[in-house]
Amino acid sequence: MTLELSHLNRRFAEYQALDDVSLQIAPGEFLALLGPSGSGKTTLLRILAGLDYPDTGSVLKDGKDFLATNARERNIGMVFQHYALFRHLTVLENIAFGLRVRPWRKRPSRAVIRERVERLLKRVQLDGLGRRYPSQLSGGQRQRVALARALAVEPDMLLLDEPFGALDAQVRVTLRRWLRELHEELDLTTVFVTHDQEEALELADRVAVMNNGRVEQVGSPEMIYQQPATPFVCEFIGKVNRFIVRRNGTGWAAGGWQPGDDPWQGRYHEAVAYVRPEQLRLAVPASQPAWEARLRHIYLAGSVAHLELHVESLGQPLEADIASEDLSRLGLHAGMELRVAPRGAVLFPRDGQGATLNHERWIWHARSPVPA
């Protein structure tokens, strides 16, 4: 089942929920819709589920008008953030609900329903809990019931609207890895809405980053993280250092660091540079361009150490990440002086009015700067 979404627009009063959204969803793909609150993720999911309709645009399923198919006929399973389980029904009855309310011509027999529900209970690791009520389950178990209920109707596509948002961190990690295994086992097409970058990057085959109703970038998790297409994606995905770079003669410079030649052939005089904390190189030799920095604080976070650096020539702090085990090897301590420089950066030029130009991105690497 290939879905092709073309130029979708949806407005609520003065709020533009979707603004010319186009996407393709391949069969068996795990697609994450990632973005902040109000970016249009859930509106897009509701349109796929048949719970809402766009003002303009089209959705085609294998070349046929998907929007003309009513919600009951789309064969979609949907899981919500807050479970939406029936409190007066047992786990067994909740999972079987979608099958029992089908028209009698399409409704499986009681024996088939019972067998399918028991099989699903084992698959979601809840066998033996079928006669309990939702109030007798933990949050993680309730979400497994909600997933089993969505899977009971044997959907062509599974829609997940922030399904782990109400769970604690440890349960979220366990469930999302289990969900990925389940997706591969059943060969489902899955669309997953989240504002959690880590969830999206860990789970998805592709990530669509949304902002203000528009799709900023679509690509693999690695591409989204390593080659962000816009300043918004740079700042929204992971941590990043941001600073201004100015043209200096035929090249560019920021403080004591120089990224090299001018890929824009003198058309711009200022650019915004984005550098990930793990891309900052410490103890740069004196023969190479770098910043003089003072190590102000070291924050240990398990296996990673976050270093807060003050760079006088930039007039701002930078953050660098290293493995905790490297602290003693490098002899790092608060107050020491270091020479630091990026291993890589993403730069966007600014026009004469100070507006950042997304279409002129430059992906720079320490050895071989390459315009993108």
Q: Please state the domain extents for the chain.
A: 3-231, 239-371
Q: Which of the four pLDDT bands, split at 50, 70 and 90, describes residue 372?
A: very low
CATH topology of domain 239-371: OB fold (Dihydrolipoamide Acetyltransferase, E2P) (2.40.50)
How many beta carbons lie within 10 A of that of residue 57, not counting itself? 18
The pLDDT, as a whole number, for residue 359 is 86
CA 176 to chain centroid, in Å, comes to 13
Q: Which of the four pLDDT bands, split at 50, 70 and 90, describes residue 200?
A: very high
With left for phi above 0 and alpha for psi between -120 and 50, is residue 233 left, alpha or beta?
alpha
Q: What is the tens place of the pLDDT at every residue in 135-163?
A: 999 888 888 898 889 888 889 899 999 88
Any idea what DSSP says for residue 107? P
Q: What is the tens place of the pLDDT at every residue in 313-345?
A: 999 999 999 999 999 888 999 999 999 999 999
Evaluate if residue 3 carries a pLDDT over 60.
yes
CATH topology of domain 3-231: Rossmann fold (3.40.50)
What is the pTM for the complete model shown?
Answer: 0.88
Q: How far apart are CA 113 and CA 321, in angstroms?
A: 53
Q: How far apart are CA 362 and CA 157, in angstroms?
A: 38
C-beta separation of 313 from 255 below 8 A: yes
The pLDDT, as a whole number, for residue 192 is 93
Average confidence (pLDDT) over 28-40: 94
The pLDDT, as a whole number, for residue 275 is 97
Amino acid at position 69, single letter: T
The pLDDT, as a whole number, for residue 143 is 85
Amino acid at position 81, single letter: Q
What 3-state DSSP class applies to 153?
A: coil
Q: How far apart are CA 189 and CA 183, in angstroms?
A: 8
Q: How far apart are CA 282 and CA 341, in angstroms?
A: 7
Cα angle vertex 360, ends 342, 291, to 5°? 20
Q: Which of the four pLDDT bands, split at 50, 70 and 90, describes residue 367?
A: low
What 3-state DSSP class applies to 110?
A: helix
